Chain A
Amino acid sequence: MWPLAKKELRLLLRDRLSAAILLLMPLLIILALGLLTGEGFGQKPDNRLRISLVDEDLGYVDPVAVRDALAWLQVTPSAGLNAIPIQAGTVGAVHVANHFDAEAAPVIDALPRLTWGPYLQVQMGVAAEMTQSAEASKARFRRPSWASRVRLDLEQTEGLRVELISSRDELISSREKAKELVGNRKRSAVFIFGPRFTERVDKCSFLVDGINPFYRDGVSLEEIDAAAIKDPTQGTSAAIMEQVVQVSLMRVILPWMIGRAFRKLGDPSFMTLLADEVPSARIIMTESFRRALGPGIQRALKNLFRNYNLTGENWADLTKSDPRVDVGNRAKEYDEEGGNGPLQRGAKRYQILVPSYSVMFAFSLVLTVGWLFVSERRQGTLKRLRAAPLSRWQILLGKLLPCLALSFFQGLFLLAAGKLVFGMRWGPDSWSMGQQLLWLLPLVASTSFAAMGIALLVAAWARTEVQVAIAGTLLVLGLALISGCLVPRELMPDAVQQLTLITPHAWALDAYAQLFLNPEPNVAMVRTSCLVLSGFGAAFVLLAWWLLKLD
């Protein structure tokens, strides 16, 4: 068997042009498609208006949590700085202290400056570290930030999709990332909720001591520590987005201000003000009268404006309209899809293109293997092999093994080229190279095995070069088409997606998607795919052995 395998490998490699085509052709196709297709490749087209946000809002602060965090930092400052899970807590506490507790300055000054993420997450980190209980930390921070309320309003608005931009790079803030995206014309506008957004909105009021956020064009972003970064070259698009955000801000802030003003009507200070403004009424404005007057005025106003709920917390409550049905349309984290440089290195589409074409070209070896068998038969050497002391299994495996090795090498070559040339990732960044290879190698091997199983099946069935060419080409193209190698499965209806699982390609693509696209891969799914692919391979080889006629 080994001499036969060695001879086949020698014959395969001797044809250098074919070997080069086998390796370079997929690369060229991937390169061409990578350059021709843009962001969003492999995803269903989404015509909804995209609203991009950066949420730096620190939200509400629980003074107890701040005190506890600072105390914890003073006790174990080194643990807070070194351990990564605790770092988030450290950062949170630093910013909490920066903004709300001047007495913490000495502690803060002793800590290095760190970048920071969304405040709620950070706060949860502090609390979780200190209480060892996520539930306890949730209980502490019940009140949602105003930024999250605006976001919810946007999420519940039809025709919109909300994107949250946060930088994965520790050296660059989310705001800077947003500026970069707008500067690169990848986004026409990004809206930023600053760290004091909740604090500022909380102070918005019709009252004299409150913040008046309104002006001629709607809500003044500066007044509420918000900002819009806009691309002047995409003015129309940016203007539409700004209007959408303005409407959401109005829907969120206005009910809050009305309710606040309405509640003020029952406040004793308002009664004093009223008495000051109407001197003749001062005689009857006894203490008990004042206590009764406030609620009375509120009830009268409620009756007067009965079409509205003046204490409603949101627009739907205020206008007494049906609340929005939550369809689970949540904001999505910004996904870095574009690449860099002339090759668009690192673009997300390579995470789809490279495995797709690796799988497709693994199965294209069907033609090569078929021709190996047919040419052996045509030139009469098969007769010599049959007259030699070789069993059918030895002849079959002698052919299978070198082709399997070639297919495996081809798969690894394309993935390696994908990494080196196109900057693709072999798995989540949190995985070591060893861990990535631990899953990748069995997947490539089992895909090759399934491909070579089909190849042997064709070789066992076909008697002539023409039969190999027709059956092989139809199989390669047909299976590639229905399995999602050529047209991403995400674009297919759900039922068709399930149907594609009759092909080994689809199982391979599913596993690659887990490794290359999912930040937290479902390794059980990868394992299952490897087993199914091996099963396909074994079944095909057995069928080929049964069909193979060497005479």
Chain B
Amino acid sequence: MTMPVLEVIAVHKNYGAHAALKGVSFCVEAGEMFGLLGPNGAGKTTLLSIISHLLEPSAGEVRIFGQKVTPNGLELRRQLGVVPQELAVYGELTARENLHFFGEIYGMRGAALRQRVQEVLAAVGLEDRADSRVATYSGGMKRRLNLGAALVHRPRLLLLDEPTTGVDPQSRNHIFEGVRRLNADGVTVVYTSHYMEEVQSLCRRVGIMDQGCLKACDTLPGLLQKLQSVIRFRIPHVTPHLRERIKGLPEITLRERAGDLLEVECRDVKATLPRLMTVLTDLHLALVSLETEEPNLERVFLDLTGRALRD
């Protein structure tokens, strides 16, 4: 059995009377792309700061590659790449100088460093503007450099804290591709975001955080399967006979909403929808409207916390 790359064990973090983290525990296996999803203020950045050695937990512990994270654990930090939420690069330096500097502080030198800087510039798509001052870059370019700065020293565990905040779709895709490529190369990734779509499209396993607690932690299908799909439709007249026929369909639950709106919850939309259409045809009922809703993380979050992710 392989050792987890990251173990978060009952971590608490208090700021005075305020508890930012309340006993969070999870593991991330080697080569995994793990997503931490939660609204702003859920405790994601605090947790990432503890993993990055920036903060000490009030209780509990974090282990990386089996070693406990301590404030003085300088060697362990060489294995980590941290992409902070802020644009943590020097505007007065060029992209090349920034990457060179961040490589140097991790002990890289000489031709190997120059070669690696060139590789990272290519990876984040900044080769053309490598020798321009970063202050002249667009927001998206700065974000890409922000990611690149964490990659120069070839980290084995990459921590990304909301890496796409405020970027254009093109740069977002660039970042996604870069992260997927890194993961494919064997880098373990922890990706935090409050964008459900990002986590859903990137991560195989997801932890959902809210108010300092880890509400759920599972694979994406595992999380989604807890919810049913919904077929929502409207007809001119809802009759008792119609209700009886629908209730007779297999593996469904009928929910009536206000007026002439009906909701059918089911496991499998593809199987249920033709059966429903047959019932309506038999009863000569015309549809006014119809929509289906597959399970997603937004709904998972709503189900877990009772409020929307973007509240």
Contacts and interface: CB of A to CB of B under 8 A. Distances in A.
Interface of A: 3-4, 6-7, 10-11, 14-15, 379-381, 383-391, 551
A386 B90 contact: no
Interface string B100-119: 01101111000000000000
B54 A389 contact: no
Contacts of B54: 383, 386-387, 551
A383 B54 CA distance: 7
A379 B92 contact: no
Interface in B59-108: 72, 74-75, 77-78, 80, 82, 84-93, 97, 101-102, 104-107
Given A379-B88, A383-B54, A383-B86, A389 B74 contact: yes
Contact of B77 (A4, A389, A551): A389
Given A3-B105, A381-B90, A389-B105, 5 more contacts: A15-B92, A379-B91, A383-B82, A387-B80, A389-B78
Contact of A7 (B53, B72, B93): B93
B77 A379 contact: no
Contacts of B97: 7, 10
Contacts of B78: 389
- Which 9 A-B residue pairings sit nearest by Cβ, starting from the closest? A380-B86, A3-B104, A380-B88, A389-B74, A387-B82, A389-B77, A387-B52, A384-B88, A388-B105
B122 interface: no
Contact of B82 (A7, A11, A384, A551): A384
Contacts of A381: 88-90
Interface string B28-43: 0000000000000000
Contact of A387 (B53, B75, B86, B93): B53
B106 A388 contact: yes
A384 B98 CA distance: 12
B74 A390 contact: yes
21 contacts: A3-B105, A6-B104, A7-B90, A10-B97, A14-B93, A379-B86, A379-B87, A380-B86, A381-B90, A383-B84, A384-B149, A386-B53, A387-B52, A387-B77, A387-B80, A387-B82, A388-B106, A389-B75, A389-B107, A551-B54, A551-B55
B90 A11 contact: yes
B274 to A, nearest CB: 55
Nearest to B75: A389
Contacts of B80: 387
A2 to B, nearest CB: 8
Give the interface SS of chain A, mostly helix, strand, loop or mixed: helix
B101 A7 contact: yes
A385 B93 CA distance: 16
B98 to A, nearest CB: 9
Contacts of B105: 3-4, 385, 388-390
Given A3-B105, A4-B105, A10-B93, A384 B74 contact: no
A4 B80 CA distance: 19
A215 B85 CA distance: 99
B187 to A, nearest CB: 16
Contacts of A15: 92
Nearest to B85: A380
Most buried by B among A10, A383, A384, A551: A384
Nearest to A4: B105
Of A6, A14, A388, most B-chain CB atoms within 10 Å? A388
Nearest to A380: B86
B22 to A, nearest CB: 21
Contacts of A389: 74-75, 77-78, 105-107
A373 to B, nearest CB: 14
Contacts of A386: 53-54
Nearest to B74: A389
A391 B90 contact: no
B88 A383 contact: yes
A381 to B, nearest CB: 5
Nearest to B86: A380
Contacts of A11: 90, 92-93
Contact of B84 (A3, A4, A380, A391): A380
B259 to A, nearest CB: 52
A4 B75 CA distance: 18
B1 to A, nearest CB: 30
B100 to A, nearest CB: 9
A545 to B, nearest CB: 15
Interface centre among A3, A4, A11, A387 (most CB of B within 10 A): A387
B300 to A, nearest CB: 31
A391 B105 CA distance: 11
A551 B55 CA distance: 8
A372 to B, nearest CB: 11
Interface in B268-282: none
Nearest to A390: B105
A10 to B, nearest CB: 7
Nearest to B87: A380
A381 B149 CA distance: 11
B92 to A, nearest CB: 5
Nearest to A2: B104
A385 B106 CA distance: 10
A14 B90 CA distance: 12
Nearest to B102: A384
Contacts of A387: 52-54, 77, 80, 82
A11 B90 CA distance: 9
A515 B135 CA distance: 47
B124 to A, nearest CB: 16
Contacts of A10: 93, 97
Contacts of A551: 54-55
A6 B85 CA distance: 26
Nearest to B159: A387
A15 B89 CA distance: 17
Nearest to A3: B104
Nearest to B90: A381
Nearest to B51: A387
B96 to A, nearest CB: 12
A9 B152 CA distance: 22
Contacts of B53: 386-387
* Most chain A Cβ neighbours within 10 Å, of B52, B72, B78, B90: B90
A84 to B, nearest CB: 58
Interface in B130-175: 149-150
Nearest to B56: A551
A4 B105 CA distance: 7
Contacts of A379: 86-91
A16 to B, nearest CB: 11
B153 to A, nearest CB: 9
A495 B80 CA distance: 59
Contacts of B91: 379
A11 B88 CA distance: 15
A3 B53 CA distance: 21
A384 B104 CA distance: 13
A384 B107 CA distance: 15
Contact of B74 (A4, A380, A391): A391
A22 to B, nearest CB: 16
B175 to A, nearest CB: 17
A10 B92 CA distance: 9
Contacts of A384: 82, 84, 88, 102, 149-150
Nearest to B88: A380
A379 B142 CA distance: 12
Nearest to B55: A551
A10 B72 CA distance: 29
A385 B239 CA distance: 69
Contacts of A380: 84-88
